[in-house]
Structure 1
Amino acid sequence: MTDSRNASPATSPMTRLAHGGRVEGSPFVNPPVVHASTVLFESVAQMKGKSATPARYTYGRRGTPTSETLEALITELEGAEGTVLTPSGASACVVALMAVLKTGDHVLMIDGVYGPTRAACDGILKRFGIETTYFDPHVGAGVVDLVRPNTRAVFLESPASLTFEMPDVAAITRALDGLGAARPIVLIDNTWATPLFYRPLDHGVDVSIMAATKYVVGHSDALIGTIAAGPRAWAKIKSTHGDLGMFTGPDDMYLALRGARTMAVRLAHHQESALTIARWLETRPEVSRVLHPALPSHPDHAIWKRDFEGASGLFSIVLKPCSEEAVAAFLDGLALFGLGYSWGGYESLAIPAFPSAIRTAVPWVAEGPVVRLQIGLEATEDLIADLAAGLDRLAARG
């Protein structure tokens, strides 16, 4: 059972992270890691739910003290009705969609959404008879013009994957509220900001999803997803999650809970370093644009400034026209930036990005190649020196 002494809503997120999700009555600071499948009952009556002392746990997949602590912490941070855990961020997106959709339904999906989410819509959901329409990230209140009689969900991501447009979530949810009982469920992938920098449920969203693999875990050593839901969607999320047999290993849960304790401190460093490097990149002659919402140069900076409490360490750059060989020379020679997928860990990463592959509603047109950067916890001056040498190599190759 989680501790009833959880921080009050007035307490800062940093304090919530340090004190939330404790086990009630336990003298230990860190909750125990419970490895369990079978749960023993006191009697047949208790197994049937007819005992005067109902069983708190029934089976490992249906919850343990370890899962409850992490769920309670995320629920508190998100301001949600409840939270479930999944084995990855991608599975969290798919489970959430399956919870609110059925055969014959229609979902509106932001163009530029995370690639695996798009793949799920174009693959498994399509096979189940669910149709997807992708829309311009800047649609705003115009989203209501895209709603059909069978539209049951609107899926957002803020900022958009790879290209970092900022949808006006508040305008979208306000417009959908005007539909009354026909209002679709609104879901959002909030991995980039986490609830420390943006709380979607406070802006009219029903379901907030994170790849907790990223900033919650923070150490590139565990895969886990979270789905936090408000009252309009919680029952469906909880039921579908259980029916699909979704569960996360206790060791991964523990790593996520441990990572969460320092998430606020890490995010502050990610943010500061990323902004410093993003501003420096704007001065480089090889860079055409820096796609970072917290920069005043970003087209959607006003939305970020209005709604967000901060920015994380992930952004993209658009290079000036150059050859594939030049981009490879830039990236292959980096000493501190690893070439790898994922992000949110302590290490810096870089990948060549291809936004046109995940854009259909609004084709992606750019003057040059796109590179996505994850700024880790290394010294900022060392990362800048590494990037400078890389851009010099790019310029030499042309």
Structure 2
Amino acid sequence: MSRSVQTGLVHSDYTAPAGFNAYPVPIHHASTVLFKDVAAMRAGTWKDKQSYTYGLHGTPTTFTLEAKLAAIEGGSCCLLAPSGLAAIAMVDFALLATGDDVLLPDNVYNPNRELGNWLTRDFGISARYYDPMIGAGIAALIEPNTKLIWTEAPGSVSMEVPDLPAICQAAHARGVLVALDNTWSAGLALRGFELGVDIIMHALTKYQSGGSDVLMGAVITREQALIERIGMAHMRLGMGVSADDAYLVMRGLPTMKLRFEAHDAGARQVARWLKGRPEIARVLHPAFEDCPGHATWQRDFSGAGGLFSVLFQPSYGEAQTDRFVDALQLFGIGYSWGGANSLVMPYRIQAMRRDWPDQGVLVRFNIGLEAPQDLIADIEQALGRL
């Protein structure tokens, strides 16, 4: 058939020869998925991963990343979302309806708290907050309409480590599901499913990417019925991710464990040095004995990563600690963690927590992959600005 030049620009008879293979997973850029024939189109369904229907519901690139992430956690099902917060929202909208109740730890990631407040205000879903150290005592807070309990291990600002097995046992006795934000440990240092958790969420933006250049989240389960419910929310909310971003996360996975261990070693070295400084009242690092939940961390975790916080002596006010933060040269001021660059962030923790017991300004550190002795020297010169 004779074709015009314009049609030739759109259609080609060329097909690349089969047999090409390489280590990187191919990047499939696709919104439209092509079907072999009408019968194949009608036989396919987005509800399983045995066929492809539309780019939003998955391509070989995203399916491969989902399988890798599920394997890291010891799960069987995974769904990707455009961010960690999007993954949290996907779980909430899948499992909660008007009249239901959700429990969140008082040290929860603040956007999750804001989402809980929104659910209460506009959707008729009550979001209540509990002491992260409550353990089995959470049984007293479970109401007949409680459907979901969020956990975060540890809290990503104040670092308390919850007793997950105790919370899960109390929840399951009343038929309540437990979701874990496992971003702090990257799924490497805490085995959530083995402790009884039903759903695990990650902000892949952090250690999985490792490059401070990707926003993505994931929800992982072991239960097919759960992933089907969450999958409906995934479809209805249009939670697609780009193939390029999926590729970037996959590129970071082979080095994630090595990076995590380097972050952990560097953070402990810096934290130990800070613990000896007279300006610091407390170092909130789960591997240290005086951090709330340390014994639980020892029991349940195999590592710690690069994120911890400190409390300055109450004699130092916010203006002074802000001056300290501004004086740091190797630390960027930013909310994230898990990348090669160290970060610092001052928090007004008393405004964030209902019953915060300590005085003093809280400052959170993410220790990157720089030499720890250089970071210590930078902190020391900045402390001189207090």
Q: TM-score, normalised by structure 1?
A: 0.88
Counterpart in the other structure of 2:35: 41
Counterpart in the other structure of 2:80: 85
- 1:288 matches 2:284: no
Find the partner of 2:202 among 200, 204, 210. 210
Q: Distance in 1 between matches of 2:141 and 2:190?
A: 26
Q: Choose 1 or 2 for highest CA Rg.
A: 2
Ranges in structure 2 where 5+ consecutive residues have no aligned partner: 1-18
Counterpart in the other structure of 2:325: 331
Q: Shift of residue 124 of structure 1? A: 4.1
Q: Distance in 2 between matches of 1:248 and 1:302?
A: 38
Q: Distance in 2 between matches of 1:77 and 1:254?
A: 17
Q: Distance in 2 between matches of 1:324 and 1:55?
A: 56
**Any conservation in 1 of the 2:150–2:180 contact (CA below 8 Å)?**
yes
Size of the alignment, in residue pairs?
363
Q: Map 1:79-228; keep pairs closer than 5 Å.
A: 79-124=74-119, 126-179=121-174, 183-228=175-220
RMSD (Å) for aligned C-alpha atoms: 1.6
| Aligned AA (1:329) | R
**Any conservation in 2 of the 1:46–1:55 contact (CA below 8 Å)?**
no
4+ runs of 1 displaced by more than 6 Å?
none
Q: Distance in 2 between matches of 1:26 and 1:109?
A: 49
Counterpart in the other structure of 1:12: none
Q: Identify the range of structure 1 (118-127 vs 34-43) with the bigger mean alpha-carbon deviation.
A: 118-127
Q: Distance in 1 between matches of 2:216 and 2:44?
A: 35
Counterpart in the other structure of 1:22: none
**Any conservation in 1 of the 2:154–2:161 contact (CA below 8 Å)?**
yes
- 1:246 matches 2:239: yes
Q: Distance in 1 between matches of 2:126 and 2:360?
A: 33
Q: Distance in 1 between matches of 2:268 and 2:376?
A: 12
Q: Secondary structure at the match of 2:80?
A: strand
Q: Shift of residue 26 of structure 1? A: 6.8
Q: Distance in 2 between matches of 1:50 and 1:158?
A: 39
Q: Shift of residue 323 of structure 1? A: 2.1
Structure 2 CA distance for partners of 1:389 and 1:68, relative to 1, 3 Å: same
Q: Distance in 2 between matches of 1:234 and 1:222?
A: 24
Q: Distance in 1 between matches of 2:180 and 2:280?
A: 30
Q: Distance in 1 between matches of 2:324 and 2:337?
A: 19
Q: Distance in 2 between matches of 1:346 and 1:50?
A: 42
Identity of aligned residues (%): 45
Ranges in structure 1 where 5+ consecutive residues have no aligned partner: 1-24
Counterpart in the other structure of 1:8: none
Q: Shift of residue 185 of structure 1? A: 1.0
Find the partner of 1:269 among 231, 239, 262. 262
- 1:315 matches 2:308: yes
**Any conservation in 2 of the 1:293–1:300 contact (CA below 8 Å)?**
yes
Q: TM-score, normalised by structure 2?
A: 0.91
Counterpart in the other structure of 1:364: 356
**Any conservation in 2 of the 1:185–1:233 contact (CA below 8 Å)?**
no
Q: Distance in 2 between matches of 1:196 and 1:43?
A: 44
| Aligned AA (1:338) | G
| Aligned AA (1:148) | E
